[in-house]
Amino acid sequence: MARRFKQLTKADRLKIEALLKAKHTPQEIADQLGVHNSTIYRELKRGRYIHTNSDLTEEERYSPDIAQAKYEENLRAKGPELKIGNDQKLADFIEDKMVNEDFSVGAVLGYIDQQGLEFSVTISRPTLYRYIDLGLFLNLTNKDLPIKGNRKKKKKTVRKTQARAAAGTSIEKRPDEIDNREEFGHWEMDTVIGKRGESKHSLLVLTERKTREELMFLLTEHTTEQVVSCIDRLEEKWGERFSRIFKTITVDNGTEFSDCEGLEKSIRQDGDSRTKVYYCHPYSSYERGSNENQNKLVRRKVPKGTNFDDKTEEDIQEVADWINNYPRLLFGWETAQMQFDKELALIA
């Protein structure tokens, strides 16, 4: 029997229930109903529920009634009462931001609110998620949503018995007030590696802990000399303000950060210190939590497996600009760039 895509009826759903009880596979059910097997898999997910047996054990079952109710609810959602159907301008705006600028659901709605943009209707985050799930947009699908995960957070236990990092001062000696993110000028620094075995280039990323401002540099070689050179360039750019903008930098124990003296020593004033560098404990990436969170944004633009040898400084700056101008719930949907500019104005 030829397979086809079609909307299932209540009779089809009752038949599916009977075939499942007779131990037929989804493929066999699809063949009998003359539909594609993906139709059956979606249907089983739609009607899934947990059944409690008489011996109090539980098992997953399919309910044609639950599936039919969800199907009818979706039909109502697609009807004339659909809010977004009354404002094509809003639908187009959401599609553009999410498809072309990689905004999340929260970011695009927060951006609309923060910028004071006016449309004829307003929708909530759950409603927008539902519209996307229902496939109501022409170009926007679930594939355009950022990857979501519910990984458990690693317990932050500082290893008090760990010896001081050989390269420089241990994070254990970093002032406690830096942890609360209330003072501007404290940074975290990390590297992002390209495709293993192919990419000789890598990225150097710096994240300011209070504002979440992101600085990114393309390293043609993964060496301490190149890292120090990037910090030198930053000092040349900011001049006498450098030490007020880059008060401290926290790094891991990678070999590319091993030249503590080179990182801390000023190139403008002989013998003077330009910043203070602190080193995390080995295998304790959570001690650079800002870097870790920002790197998730970086990976949305340059996924794992990217060959950085194909990237230019301009390409990397575009990624940094996108991150710094991304609306943040943390800042009431303002951006990291807005926060950073406010801090710079205070030390101008």
Cβ 250 vs Cβ 208: under 8 Å: no
Say if residue 320's pLDDT is above 80: yes
CA distance 217 to 330: 25
SS3 137: coil
Instruction: DSSP for 43-68, please give it.
Output: HHHHTEEEEEPTTS-EEEEE-HHHHH
Eight-state DSSP code of residue 220: S
Between residues 93 and 133, the one the model is more confident about:
93
Averaged confidence pLDDT in the chain: 86
Share of residues in the chain with pLDDT > 70 (%) = 89
Query: Which residues lie below 8 Å from residue 317, measured CB to CB, with a gap of 6+?
Result: 216
Distances (CA, A) of 199 to 303, 304, 307: 13, 11, 5
User: How long is the chain?
Assistant: 348
CA distance 253 to 287: 12
pLDDT score, position 187: 97
**276-279 sheet: strands from edge to edge:** 169-170, 276-279, 248-251, 186-193, 202-208, 214-219
pLDDT score, position 82: 61
User: 154-158 long-range contacts, Cβ below 8 Å, gap at least 24?
Assistant: 154/286, 156/286, 156/287, 158/281, 158/284, 158/287
Helix axes 26-33, 37-46, angle to 10 degrees: 110
Cβ 171 vs Cβ 281: under 8 Å: yes
Half-sphere exposure in the Cβ direction for 82 (13 Å, CA): 22
55-89: per-residue pLDDT in tens? 778 888 899 988 888 877 766 555 545 667 678 88
Say if residue 160's pLDDT is above 60: no
pLDDT score, position 72: 73
Closest CA to 143 of 109, 102, 91, 106: 102
pLDDT score, position 165: 47
pLDDT score, position 158: 46
CA distance 66 to 119: 36
Give the ranges where 116-253 is alpha helix by DSSP (H).
125-133, 224-238, 242-245
Share of residues in the chain with pLDDT > 90 (%) = 54
The kind and range of the H/E element at 316 are helix 313-324
pLDDT score, position 161: 41
Taking the model in full, what pTM does it have? 0.69
Q: Which amino acid is at 328?
A: R
Cβ 200 vs Cβ 309: under 8 Å: yes
Say if residue 259's pLDDT is above 90: yes
CA distance 95 to 85: 13
The kind and range of the H/E element at 202 are strand 202-208
Q: Is 344 left (phi over 0), alpha (psi -120 to 50) or beta?
A: alpha
